Amino acid sequence: MNLNDFFAVIYELLGYAGTFSDDIYQEELYTSVGLINIFVGLFLTIVFYFFNRPKFSKLKYWLFMLLISFIINFVVGILVTQNTLTALGLEYKFIDYALFGLKNAVICIIVFVIWSYAFKWWNSDTKGIPKIFFGKF
| Helix, strand, coil shares, percent, the chain, to 5 | 70, 0, 30
- Is 126 a residue that touches another protein (CB under 8 A)? yes
Q: Which is nearer to another protein, 92 or 119 (CB)?
A: 119
- Is 60 a residue that touches another protein (CB under 8 A)? no
Binding residue (CB under 8 A) for another protein from 5, 35, 58, 117 = 58
- Is 73 a residue that touches another protein (CB under 8 A)? no
Backbone angles phi, psi at 133, to 5 degrees: 55, 60
Instruction: Assign 136 to helix, strand or coil.
Output: coil
- Is 55 a residue that touches another protein (CB under 8 A)? yes
Ramachandran bin of 28, using left for φ above 0, alpha for ψ from -120 to 50, beta for the remaining angles: left
Which residues of this protein are in contact with another protein, per CB under 8 A?
51, 53-55, 57-58, 124-128
